[in-house]
Amino acid sequence: MRALAFGTTVLCAVLFASCTSSTVVSPGAGGGIHASELLHDASGLPLVYVSNPRGSNVTVYSYRDAKHVRLVQTITGMSTPYGSCVDRKQNVYVADGVTDDIVEFAHGGTTPIGTLADTHGMPFACAINPANGDLAVVNNWGPSGSDGNVLVYSKAKGDPTSYSDPNLEIPEQAAYDDDGNLFVDGSKGPSRPFVLFELQKGKKIFSYLKVRGAQIREPSGLQWCAPHMLLADSDYQSESTTLLYVLKVAASRTQVVRKVALASSGNVEQFWKQGQNVIAPDGDSVPIFSYRTGNREGEITKGVFAPVAAVVSAP
């Protein structure tokens, strides 16, 4: 987790599938959020949504493959958009960290179709349960700077249920598996050792998971791609290199089965695996890597401003 500065305000700071007191706002309501019109040549294509908190916008790109990515619209009027997630309808949810809102957009939509208020902290990341549509929201920090928490909105509506654990002081990322089990990573204590927890389907408390075969300094993205969990360390061996761990999860234990080093890329926050590529914003641009080799195969630079998160919505 890295600190991001916006003017005089300093915020401490996103999952996912190509391989996942509140108020619902009616369609068309956006509180000043606007977007350029979607270009016709993007119809029928997957769309990459990139969060640019320092630009207070989300840039949207048509995606054919790593070498054919085109800016098609920019959603403006947000405050500090961070992590995002996608439901089965391919609606995109974006966590807006300063307004404490989670804003929902339809695939290719130009105005929000719903907004959820988060009164429990600063929303930083989210995940959708593919089994029932529940929305999990990760708050880095709780009210008045207290420990962070995870909120679960049943079917992405209504008032959330809050979950926390004293050993998960700063939760970072979240992902659901296909069965509806929720995984959350983060850190604990002054030295910020990495921790990974699971909230099993139907349970009310987190279970600690030991990650065998990994030493993670800076957790930076979590995505379920059946039958594995993908977990990134954006400061692998203190070398400012992002390493993608492919994990097997079984019986409350995890085991590294593969490692993919993303070439010349550190500071990744929220990545997204799309087919055989990994889209990984690194704070400067949005490199696109081969999932097999880790080599760069493309890069998004147009329109981005200190990008921190990417997610893909398919038509």
Q: Judge contact between 186 and 148, C-beta under 8 A.
A: yes
Render the burial of 44-60: b for 16+ CB within 10 Å, e for the rest.
Answer: ebbbbbbbbbbbbbbbb
CA 183 to chain centroid, in Å, comes to: 13
Residue 301 has pLDDT above 60, yes or no: yes
Question: Which pLDDT score is estimated for 11?
Answer: 38
Q: How many helices (H) and strands (E) does the chain have?
A: 0, 27
Give φ, ψ of 229 to 5 degrees: -105, 135
Q: Which residues contact 191 (CB under 8 A, 6 or more apart)?
A: none
- What's the pLDDT tens digit per position in 227-272? 999 999 988 876 778 999 999 998 778 999 999 999 888 888 899 9
- What's the pLDDT tens digit per position in 26-70? 333 344 676 555 555 566 899 999 999 999 999 999 999 999 999
Residue 15 has pLDDT above 50, yes or no: no
Determine if the peptide bond prior to 227 is cis (ω within 30°).
yes
